Chains A and B, each alone.
Chain A
Amino acid sequence: MIPAPFEYVRPTTVEEAVQAVAEGGDDVKIMAGGQSLIPVMRLRLAAPETIVDLGRVAEMRGVREDGDALVIGAMTTHAEVIADPLIAQHARLIAEATETVADRQTRRRGTFGGALAHADPAGDLPSVALALDAEMVVAGPEGRRTVPAREFFVDYLTTALDEGEVLVEIRVPKLAGDWGVRYEKFNRVAQAWSIVAVAAAVRRENGHIAEARIGLTNMGPVPLRAPATEAALAGASASPDAVAAAARSAAEGTSPSSDLNAQADYRQHLAQVLTRRAVATAAGL
């Protein structure tokens, strides 16, 4: 299986990339690591006129600190994210979730920004970005703007990126205080996407849970938080019973799909179970 013919452009700066997208015609597609795009092009599910390959845009790769935030270049590969010392120190949840993405070879090519911009509901990183209140820095013909994760994921495979815009970097607030994190993923075979997964970050204070942030993967067309559970956990005692009680509302307000992997009600059950496990582990229980 071979992709349909396309024009290929390989910019080396963000400015060049934005320009290439603007000049790429009606059907231009931006390629990050290509680990989702090339497979769908091979199947001819996508046949873009122009591919703008970000692979040589060096400024979009790498992780740096900027005050209270980490800034992760959109073209930083999954393998680089996993090995990065700043992410290990300030945003370990991202590394933990990234370790579960696809397989070794795919993680060598696939990128953090590519996974977010692709916005697959079963992708692991959107819910993590949402749980960590990340912000997407986006470049377009009009300049740069910042989109909070809560507004970035709009619908199935659809983000707030306008036509002509490129996701450049992701700002992740450092977790300050005594935070524990956990990514609980449920799938059944090697390399598989999440049937459901839960990202949890929990801040402990004097034996209590001061604050919890929970991101749900594949519980609807976009990643979700679990607000009822987060509210129940705020100020709760750090005990298995309190966590279990709070986790029972994890699926409230979700609308997961039914497919060959799982029915919607089963996904809702999984969301509760995985939330309980993720929060308990994150809280050190």
Chain B
Amino acid sequence: MTRVSMRVDGVTYTDEVEPRTLLVHHLREALGKVGTVVGCDTSNCGACTVHLDGQAVKSCTVLAVQADGAEVTTIEGIGSTDALHPVQKAFHEQHGLQCGFCTPGMIMASIDLLKENPSPSEDEVREGIEGNLCRCTGYQNIVRAVQQAAREMSGTSETLGAQS
């Protein structure tokens, strides 16, 4: 067992973990952060995406021991029911989900994309979230949601919401 300490959604946790423990399992099973889900287990779907020191990573492809000393942000740490993150709000308003399983990862990847590119074109959004798979929506409304969030976050909010 190895002792690891990490700050997750603003709270510091110190635990003994087996080195083989994946970060996603540590988050869900030891820390109760079940908002982050395991989708494919093959590093493809991106549902388990979290931010590790501010960068989007697939938490099924990171060992918990590798996150020792790091700052982890999950979908549970970006907003609250009363104050959704702009990307959460946009996914809601643009119907960027159906079953919702891919959504935590979609949102975490989108926030990472928008940090790097605050005003992405449609193509840039599609490429930017290519690490996240959605089996329900056909991505159309997801792309709209990310672009709406981009506008709101950069303070140029207009009326895309009215189109839907």
Contact = CB atoms under 8 A, between A and B. Distances in A.
Interface of A: 1-8, 10, 34-35, 38-39, 41-42, 51, 53, 55, 79, 102-106, 108-109, 190-191
B130 interface: yes
B73 interface: no
A5 B58 contact: no
Contacts of B42: 39, 42
A190 B131 CA distance: 7
A105 B46 contact: yes
Contacts of A10: 65
Nearest to B50: A105
A39 B61 contact: yes
Pairs of residues from A and B, 3 with the lowest C-beta to C-beta distance, nearest first: A103-B131, A8-B19, A190-B130
Contact of A106 (B58, B128, B133): B58
A38 B63 contact: yes
B43 A104 contact: no
A106 B41 contact: no
Interface in B53-73: 55-58, 60-63, 65-66
B19 A105 contact: no
B25 interface: yes
Interface residues on B, range: 20 to 34
A183 to B, nearest CB: 15
Interface of B: 2, 18-22, 25, 41-44, 46, 49, 52, 55-58, 60-63, 65-66, 109, 112-113, 128-133
B62 A38 contact: yes
B19 A51 contact: yes
Contact of B62 (A5, A104, A109): A109
A79 B112 CA distance: 12
- Describe B's contact surface by its main secondary structure: mixed
B130 A103 contact: yes
Given A55-B66, A106-B131, A6 B56 contact: no
A109 B65 contact: no
B131 A105 contact: yes
Contacts of A41: 20
Contacts of B129: 104
B62 A103 contact: no
Contacts of A106: 43, 58, 61, 131
14 contacts: A3-B20, A5-B19, A35-B43, A38-B22, A38-B43, A38-B62, A42-B60, A103-B131, A104-B113, A104-B131, A106-B61, A108-B56, A109-B61, A190-B130
A274 B42 CA distance: 30
B20 A5 contact: yes
Given A34-B61, A35-B43, A38-B62, A104 B20 contact: no
B18 A5 contact: yes
A105 B49 contact: yes
Nearest to A1: B41
Contact of A191 (B22, B65, B131): B131
A6 B19 contact: yes
B36 to A, nearest CB: 13
B66 to A, nearest CB: 6
A63 B130 CA distance: 27
Contacts of B131: 102-106, 190-191
Nearest to A4: B20
B128 A104 contact: yes
Given A2-B22, A3-B20, A6-B20, A105 B56 contact: yes
B62 to A, nearest CB: 7
B25 A2 contact: yes
A165 B133 CA distance: 38
A34 B49 CA distance: 16
A191 to B, nearest CB: 6
